[in-house]
Amino acid sequence: MPHSDTVAVHAGEPTLDRKDAPITPDITVGSASGYPDLKTLDAAMAEHRGYGRWGTDNHRQLEAAVASLEANGLATRLDAVAVGSGMAAIAVALMSEMNAGDHVVAAHDCYGTTVTFLRNDLPRFGIKSTIVDFQDLDAVRRALTDRTRVLLCEMCTNPLIRVPDLEALAAIAHDAGALLLVDNTVPTPALSQPLRWGADAVIYSATKNLSGHADVIGGLLVGKPSWISAARAFAHTFGPTLGPFDAWLTLRGIRTLVVRMARHTSNALALARFLEGHEAISRVNYPELDASPFCARARRLLPGGAGALLSFELAGGKPALESMLSRLQLVRLMPSLGSVATTLSHPASTSHRGLDPTERARAGISDSLTRCSVGLEHPDDLLADFEQALR
């Protein structure tokens, strides 16, 4: 079995079957292919080839790479389908799996727009959901109904970076005849393979660390070939196609995914330890810290590290946060995550702005809570920037 670094570099690469073929894939921009006769046209249409909404070679290369990374070291063969955003991946996963009358149990700390989709959009199609804290396994069990088809949670939640007990959740899902679907966007397949712990399928926002350079909006679903084949058929009808250039950029990002995630993770741990020891900081959330309640679980489920995201609170509250933000030189505010540069986000103004202050407090989101997506800078420079900004 090759190491994941090697899989990331080579999986999905085009065969060199053309004279002087470049080893970097071409980008297929044509929206449709041409055919010399009815027989070849018919064969292409039967296989959903030759029309851009069904994807091009760029999509197939990307899908092969992500499926190979996700399946690396597992006994199962996996397939993947690329779509136009992380939200499209969630929508395709849920809408291809469920019928009117079905029910999903989702974690309360899923990405805000995922929760909005479950609460506001799916009920119009007869699909209900119950949203609970997935750290409370009894609450998950109590939420099940005889129509529950999917349990949905995120690995390394945002912004408190909590780690769900995937093995226990998979057992609960399977006992109820449901699937465990995991949004693995934050750790990426370089650090986390939820199917290893019993999950049935995984979705990604490729917008984040998977593509890795804040220049793509994209998404992927990964799972057993039969599940992906149904999801792909739905996606081909529904139509949230990823652009071929975005598929190409995402695959190019994946070539360095494993080395990037190793550096993101070591930088994040160094920053978390620095902040934990700083008098201006009252709390740090990062699962690899010994003091984290998720440390033991993270070491088991995420042995290569917990990824780029951490969050922290300042003892001096929002005024102290504003002062730190005005002094940071390298680090900017950005309402996203997962790029090469270190960025900060303020959950109370972004992902959790729809909650009132009491609801925010209940969710553990204070006004000074800051989420950091740690980048690839040299750790000394990064720590020095925070040190001077917190002085």
Q: Does 91 bind ligand PLP (CB under 6 A)?
A: no
Q: Does 58 bind ligand PLP (CB under 6 A)?
A: no
Q: Does 205 bind ligand PLP (CB under 6 A)?
A: yes
Q: Does 199 bind ligand PLP (CB under 6 A)?
A: no
Type of residue numbered 253: G
Window of 63-71, 180-188, 229-237, 360-368 that interacts with ligand PLP by CB under 6 A: 180-188
Choose, by CB under 6 A, the member of 105, 111, 269, 368 that binds ligand PLP. Answer: 111
Supply 271's token pair: 């920053």
Q: CA of 27: how far to CAs of 22, 68, 245, 247, 381, in Å?
A: 12, 21, 6, 9, 37
Closest CA to 352 of 210, 186, 157, 122: 157
The residue length of the chain stands at 391
Could you give the string, one character per residue 249-288, with x where binding to ligand PLP holds by CB under 6 A and - elsewhere?
----------------------------------------
Question: 379-390 and 317-327 helices cross at what angle (nearest 10)?
Answer: 130
Q: Does 82 bind ligand PLP (CB under 6 A)?
A: no
Q: What is the DSSP string of 7-42?
A: HHHHTTPPP--STT--SSPP----SB---SSHHHHH
Nearest residue to the partner ligand PLP, using Cβ = 86
Residue 101 burial (CB < 10 Å; 0-12/13-18/19+)?
exposed
Window of 18-26, 66-74, 82-90, 371-379 that interacts with ligand PLP by CB under 6 A: 82-90
Shortest CB 187 distance to ligand PLP, Å? 10
Q: Does 219 bind ligand PLP (CB under 6 A)?
A: yes
71 three-class SS: helix
Q: Which is nearer to ligand PLP, 91 or 324 (CB)?
A: 91
Q: Does 158 bind ligand PLP (CB under 6 A)?
A: yes
Chain positions contacting ligand PLP, by CB under 6 A:
85-87, 111, 154, 158, 183, 185-186, 205, 207, 217, 219
